[in-house]
């Protein structure tokens, strides 16, 4: 069924969610979005794979990007679709229940409503509806734009990612670095441990450094980011009667956006001086750029609370393209990917109203 962009934002969110679009299967919802946007004369529409980019070309001196991914994680068993509009828990109000209501078709619905109802925004807008955010980076639609048509977004001054934030602004994001530290011993029968060397016991040195570590709290562009360094996985041993000859501790470092990827690695060398490690993942963070005119205007127009994003989101991809970015969208992120995924109806309405204050 075609999407009706004249419907209210709650109805439109439900319609989007009811088009199942688990990662790598976004074709149907992408078709529906493209079909709904093509007739709008004030937009220039481009499709790359299952990603749609729609741009106003009004000649304003400022351009902003509004972006949202159209894929979801898999459905539950039994499926948490079709959507249902239900009474919420105490103090929650009415909610829209179902996969994608939080992460993040509510934000996508807000984008579509703006694209349809604000033909002459106060600044030029690039709307991006992209695939493959919930899985490996190679499938990410923003990456595909970067590789194939970077000019479609690189001419912007500021970006808003409509990921769920509980209807407050979350500025930038922290970087994330994962490393594996491996201790090596010598296997032996556990009845005669003196014939070997216990690699798991050697991991105590790694754990003691983590326990003693004091993470920074850093203010970047007026927002407070709390760093974190934690063991997230440990493995070793092959049997109950064998002294383990190997133990691997996986460590995750969440670093503030005043630190780049190389600096984060250098810091791990400081923390684990004398030990060796393997880097398994490293994605830099993003500054919120709240000192820039476009960001200031956004925050002032919305009139909502502003906090630092303590996780990692695709705003980091915008940072890599030279665009400061913030997260702002409906839904409690604690319910993203949840079996009981649900979004308060009033947040869908208030997010659309806030964005209208900014663009109209």
pLDDT at site 360: 83
Q: Which two tokens stand for residue 104?
A: 């993040």
pLDDT at site 319: 85
Active-site annotation holder among 133, 245, 332, 341: 133
pLDDT at site 90: 72
**Residues sharing a CB contact under 8 Å with residue 211, sequence separation 6 or more, in sequence order:** none
Domains of the chain: residue spans and CATH: 9-173+286-359 (3.40.630.10), 175-283 (3.30.70.360)
Instruction: State the Cα torsion 189-193-199-205 to the nearest 10°.
Output: 160
Which residue(s) pair with 84 in the sheet? 97
The answer to whether the beta carbons of residues 160 and 328 sit under 8 Å apart is yes
Closest CA to 174 of 313, 324, 295: 313
**Given the structure tokens 């790598």, which residue do they identify?**
24
Active-site annotation holder among 26, 34, 71, 245: 71
Q: Which two tokens stand for residue 135?
A: 């899985």
Bridge-based pairing state of the strands 223-226 and 277-283: unpaired
Alpha helices by DSSP H, listed for 303-341, are 315-320
For the chain, the residue count is 360
Residue 71 falls in the annotated catalytic set: yes
- CA-CA distance, 242 to 33, in Å (whole number)? 58
pTM of the model as a whole: 0.86
- pLDDT per residue as tens, the chain (360 positions): 799 999 999 999 999 999 999 999 999 999 999 999 999 999 999 999 999 999 999 999 999 999 999 999 999 999 999 999 998 777 778 999 999 999 999 999 999 999 999 999 999 999 999 999 999 889 999 999 999 999 999 999 999 999 999 999 999 999 999 999 999 999 999 999 999 999 999 999 999 999 999 999 999 988 999 999 999 999 999 999 999 999 999 999 999 999 999 999 999 999 999 999 999 999 899 988 888 888 888 998 888 889 999 988 999 999 888 888 899 999 999 999 999 999 999 999 999 999 999 998
Bridge-based pairing state of the strands 51-55 and 44-48: antiparallel
Please provide residue 177's backbone torsions phi and psi, each rounded to the nearest 5 degrees: -125, 130
Which residue(s) pair with 279 in the sheet? 179
Residue 262 falls in the annotated catalytic set: no
* Rounded CA Rg of the chain: 23
Q: Which two tokens stand for residue 141?
A: 């639609």
Residue 190 Cα distances to 156, 187, 197, 246, 315, angstroms: 63, 9, 10, 15, 51
pLDDT tens digits for range 115-164: 999 999 999 999 999 999 999 889 999 999 999 999 999 999 999 999 99
């Amino acid at each position: 069924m075609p999407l009706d962009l004249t419907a209210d934002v709650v109805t439109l969110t439900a319609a989007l969610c009811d088009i199942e679009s688990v990662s790598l299967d976004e074709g149907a919802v992408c078709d529906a979005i493209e079909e709904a946007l093509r007739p709008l004369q004030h937009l220039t529409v481009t499709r790359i794979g299952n990603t749609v980019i729609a741009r106003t070309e009004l000649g304003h001196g400022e351009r902003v990007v509004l972006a949202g991914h159209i894929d979801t994680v898999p459905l539950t068993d039994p499926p948490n679709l079709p959507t249902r509009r239900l009474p919420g828990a105490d103090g929650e109000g009415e909610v829209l229940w179902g996969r994608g209501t939080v992460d993040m078709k509510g934000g996508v619905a807000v984008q579509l409503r703006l694209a349809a109802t604000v033909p002459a925004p106060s600044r030029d807008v690039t709307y991006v509806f992209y695939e493959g955010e919930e899985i490996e980076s190679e499938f990410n639609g923003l990456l595909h734009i970067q590789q194939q048509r970077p000019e479609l977004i690189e001419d912007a001054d500021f970006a808003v990612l409509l990921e769920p934030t509980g209807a407050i602004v979350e500025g930038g994001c922290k970087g994330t670095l994962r490393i594996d530290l491996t201790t090596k011993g010598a296997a032996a029968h556990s009845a005669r441990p003196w014939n070997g060397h216990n690699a798991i016991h050697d991991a105590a040195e790694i754990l003691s450094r983590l326990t003693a570590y004091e993470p920074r709290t850093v203010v970047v562009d007026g927002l407070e980011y709390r760093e974190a360094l934690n063991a997230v996985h440990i493995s070793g041993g092959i049997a109950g009667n064998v002294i383990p000859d190997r133990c691997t501790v996986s460590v995750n470092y969440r670093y503030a956006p005043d630190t780049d990827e190389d600096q984060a690695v250098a810091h791990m060398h400081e923390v684990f001086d004398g030990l060796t490690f393997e880097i398994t993942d490293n994605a830099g963070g993003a500054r919120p750029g709240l000192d820039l005119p476009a960001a200031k205007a956004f925050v002032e127009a919305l009139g909502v609370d502003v906090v630092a994003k303590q996780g990692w989101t695709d705003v980091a991809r915008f940072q890599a393209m030279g665009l400061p970015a913030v997260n702002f969208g409906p839904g409690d992120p604690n319910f993203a990917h949840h079996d009981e995924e649900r979004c308060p109806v009033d947040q869908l309405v208030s997010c659309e109203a806030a964005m209208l204050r900014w663009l109209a």
